[in-house]
Every structure is written in C-alpha cells, then in structure tokens.
C-alpha cells in the first residue's frame, strides 16, 4: 500500500509537470528520447531561480570564487588524463534472449531477465561517455566526448585562472553547465537522465587543510538546501564506503533524499586529493611557502535536475479539507516561478480590466518580471490554477479598488486575504522576497 501511494505521488508530480508546462519528455512528438527532458516556461523559471540562488551563494557573493563557462566539447586527452576513458564505467548485463541491457548492480535476480525471463550474460564494463566526431575525418583521432562532468572544464582552466587573477590559496572555481552520461537505465523521471545539468565547485586547498574545508562545505551545502526550501527532514548524509568511491575520490559524502521511489543520491561532496591536477600536470606557486605545490581539491557537486525534483517534491502539498482536494506548491517566494498573479474581479467590466492591466500588472511586471495576468473563469478557479504552480499571491482588482486604490491579496498557503494599497504592492512583494 505504501508503495502504491509513493507511485501515485510520482505520477501526480509527473502529470502536473507536463500539464502546467514545467517539464516535457524530450522529443515527445516523435515518441520521446529516453533519458532526455525539455523544461517549459515555468520549469525554466524554477531552474533559473535554483541556479541563480546557487551562483549567488557560492560564487558572486564571495571573494574566493572564480566562475568559468567551459566548452562542452573538449580535447579527448582531457578525458584520458582524468581517468574517465579508462574508468568511467558501470557494470552492465545483457539478456541473451531480448537483448535488453541492465545495470548489473541494480538488479535483484542476477541470472534471469526481469522483462522476458531470458538468461542474463556475464557483466561487462560499459563506458558511459557519449562519443562524437569532430571535423570531417571519421577516424579515432577525431573522437571527442560530451563531458560527463563539468569538473574537468574547471581543472583544464586552472592555469588560465591562476595566471589571469593570481588567486591565493584557498580559492575555488565554479561552473554551471550541461553534462552527459549514457546511462544504461535512465529512470525515475528527471532523477537519472542522459543529459542533465551540474553546478560544481573545485575548491583548491593546501593538503593539511582538506578536512577543515570538507566540513565547511558540508555545512554550506546543507545551508543552501535549507535556504531554497528543500525539506531537510528528507535529506540524509551517507559516508560512501571505500569500495564504492569514484575513481578520483579519497572520501565522499552523498546527500541522499527521500524520493517517492526511495532514498537516493541528491548531491555529493568529494575530496579528490590532487588526483586531477597531478594528472593534468598542473602546479601552483605557493608564495607563502615559497614552493611549487599541487593543491588538493574539495568538490561540492550538485545536479540541477535533482535539485528541481527535491524542491518540487518538498513543495508539493494537497489540502483535502475542502470539497475538492486543493493542490498547492509551497515554494518560497524567491524560488516561485511566478511571484504574483493579477486579476480583475470580472473580465467584462472594462474599468476593472483597465485598472488591473495599467495600474497593477504593467508596473509590477516591469519591476519583477515573474508576474502573471489571469482573467479566465471565476476567481476560485484562478486561485486553484495559481496554487498548482506555486504562485504565493493572487492580487484582485475589484469595484472598491476604483475608489480606494487598494487591492485584495490572497495568500497561497493560508487562503487568507488582506487589503493593500496599490502604491504599497512593490514593497509588499520585496519585503517577502528575502
Ligand atoms: N564531478 C563529480 C561528479 O560528477 P557525480 O556524483 O557523478 O559526481 C554529481 O555527479 C551530481 O550530478 C550528482 O550528485 C547528481 O546530483 C547529478 N547527477 C549525476 N548523474 C546524473 C544523472 N544521470 N541524471 C541527473 N543528475 C545526475
């Protein structure tokens, strides 16, 4: 029963995401492309708010961070040096009968195919990097990989950044961008995709300091999750066992989240030692110590799509106390795709429409951007539509507005209404954004 309820919740979330234009299946009009998703207008806004909040906390508000926007296509020597060509692989088994492929470490019955009952072959290592060809030649010298992590775009610009900005240790470099992995079994909506986005920091420290900064970033990661509105009662830290560490990691703590489909990874924090800089033959002149060193690296790594899913699931609420259940997304105002929706009480009263459009909607839209206008159906239906996409406030222009220049603001979470002067609307919103 519990399992059914969990599946039901995931179905509701997937269907809401599609119906209200948050997320669509990639290439849907041609039957889809497994492991790819397209974000619609509202989904795009939420992604934008997640990425902006991350960049502000971890990069632009700090003096020790340097952003980078590296190319996705990189020289394949990068991936040879990073160990990904040799070691970025998952164990895969293939069914001898139906030829379906599965992650060997994720199946319960190691002998029999879960789909057709056929015999499963021996596990093989399957490299997850997507290959493509650059230029007109199609030989192996033209092979390039789509990056499976944004981290290498950072390491390969370490020297450029040091030469350009002369940062003192400790300092960090950060990047937000697409990553690609040919996952054997993409699944659980946007949890495991083949094309996804990462937000990563490589923080360069002296070896002796690594533990201090590991703990520091663990706290910072928790702080950010809480700040954007992820339900912290569903977040758990997992010390990854030595045998499960990625090939570059000396220590990893995974932040896991209680998704409806189980407790699984949300973000990761790794101590990469000086593995990458050593392999790329990069050094740093430590003026303080008067020597050349290879700094060690603490890596907080965040999946944007998983942040989206965890935030969406944390915000999802159903109020069943009324006649019909009311679904509302309890986003913090600063994260909500739409901040407020403006409506005239009746759409066939030109004086209300003109007031709502000219004196309320237009100036708020110019100031905040994320403002909607809705005059369809009755007020109750408009509230429901906004609740479902997580709009914190519905602003209604009624007949009293024409004489008192005040509007009614209805709160998404409590349903309570208050009267506010039109001249105070901008202040009302701004005060609640931080
Ligand atoms: N640079 C380190 C690194 O890439 P990772 O644990 O493989 O480490 C980091 O990935 C984060 O990227 C994960 O914690 C997760 O949030 C996200 N991620 C990884 N694979 C993903 C996938 N197939 N779909 C969506 N997000 C993914």
Question: pLDDT for 25-82, tens place per residue?
Answer: 999 999 999 999 999 999 999 999 999 999 999 999 999 999 999 999 999 999 999 9
- Over residues 210-222, the pLDDT tens digits come to 999 999 999 999 9
Q: In what order do the strands lie in the sheet with 235-239?
A: 65-67, 171-180, 195-205, 296-303, 262-273, 251-259, 235-239
pLDDT classification of 434: cutoffs 50, 70, 90: confident
Residue ranges around ligand 1 (CB below 6 Å): 149, 151, 181, 183, 192-193, 196, 198, 200, 265, 267-268, 299, 301-303, 305-306
CA–centroid distance, 239 to ligand 1, in Å, is 16
Nearest CA to ligand 1 atom 15: 303
Å from CA of 184 to ligand 1 middle? 15
**Given a cut of 90, is residue 99 above it in pLDDT?**
no
Assign 366 a pLDDT band (cuts: 50, 70, 90). Answer: very high
Mutate to test the pocket of ligand 1, among 39, 68, 198 (most ligand atoms within 8 A of CB): 198
Between 302 and 137, the more confident residue is 302
Cα(267) to ligand 1 centroid in Å equals 7
pLDDT at residue 348 in the model: 95
The tokens for 285 are 């002149």
CA of 266 to the centre of ligand 1 (A): 8
pLDDT mean across residues, the chain: 95
Give the least confident one: 6-10, 145-149, 265-269: 6-10
What is the reported pLDDT for 335? 98
**Quick one: which atom of ligand 1 is closest to the CA of 307?**
16
Q: Is the pLDDT of residue 367 over 90?
A: yes
Residue 1 has pLDDT above 80, yes or no: no
What confidence score (pLDDT) does residue 214 get? 98
pLDDT mean over 417-434: 96
Per-residue pLDDT, 267: 98
Cα 300 to middle of ligand 1, angstroms: 11
Distance 51 CA to ligand 1 centre (A): 15
Q: How confident is the model at residue 158 (pLDDT cuts 50, 70, 90)?
A: very high
pLDDT in tens, 182-213: 999 999 999 999 999 999 999 999 999 999 99
- Per-residue pLDDT, averaged over 307-325, amounts to 94
């Amino acid at each position: 029963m519990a399992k059914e309820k969990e599946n039901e919740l995931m179905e509701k979330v997937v269907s809401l995401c599609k119906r209200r234009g948050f997320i669509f299946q990639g290439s849907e009009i041609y039957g889809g492309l497994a492991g790819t998703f397209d974000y619609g207008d509202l989904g795009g806004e939420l992604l934008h708010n997640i990425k902006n909040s991350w960049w502000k906390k971890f990069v632009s508000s700090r003096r020790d961070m340097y952003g980078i926007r590296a190319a996705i296509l990189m020289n394949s020597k990068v991936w040879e040096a990073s160990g990904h060509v040799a070691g970025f692989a998952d164990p895969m088994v293939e069914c001898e009968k139906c030829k379906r492929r599965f992650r060997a470490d994720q199946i319960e019955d190691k002998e029999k195919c879960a789909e057709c009952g056929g015999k499963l072959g021996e596990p093989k290592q399957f490299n997850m990097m997507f290959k493509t060809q650059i230029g007109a030649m199609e030989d192996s010298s033209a092979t390039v990989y789509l990056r499976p992590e944004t981290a290498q775009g950072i390491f390969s610009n370490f020297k450029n950044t040091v030469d350009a900005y002369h940062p003192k240790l400790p300092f960090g470099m950060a990047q937000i961008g697409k990553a690609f992995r040919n996952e054997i079994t993409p699944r659980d909506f946007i949890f495991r995709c083949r094309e996804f986005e990462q937000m990563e920091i490589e923080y360069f420290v002296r070896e002796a300091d690594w533990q201090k900064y590991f703990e520091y970033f663990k706290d910072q990661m928790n702080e950010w999750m809480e700040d954007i509105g992820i339900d912290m009662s569903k977040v758990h830290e997992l010390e990854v066992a030595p045998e499960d560490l990625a090939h570059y990691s000396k220590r990893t703590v995974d932040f896991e989240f209680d998704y409806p489909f189980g407790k699984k990874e949300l973000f990761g924090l790794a101590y990469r030692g000086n593995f990458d800089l050593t392999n790329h033959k990069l050094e740093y002149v430590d003026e303080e110590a008067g020597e050349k060193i290879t700094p060690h690296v603490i890596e907080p790594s965040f999946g944007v799509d998983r942040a989206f899913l965890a935030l969406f699931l944390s915000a999802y609420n159903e109020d069943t106390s009324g006649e019909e259940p009311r679904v509302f997304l309890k986003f913090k105002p600063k994260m909500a795709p739409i901040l407020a929706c403006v409506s005239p009480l009746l759409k066939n009263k030109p004086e209300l429409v003109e007031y709502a459009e000219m004196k309320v909607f237009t100036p708020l839209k110019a100031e905040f951007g994320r403002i909607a206008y809705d005059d369809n159906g009755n007020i109750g239906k408009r509230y429901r539509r906004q609740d479902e996409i997580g709009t914190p406030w519905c602003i209604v222009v009624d007949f009293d507005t024409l004489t008192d220049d005040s509007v009614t603001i209805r709160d998404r979470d409590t349903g309570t209404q208050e009267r506010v002067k039109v001249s105070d609307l901008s202040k009302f919103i701004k005060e609640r954004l931080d």
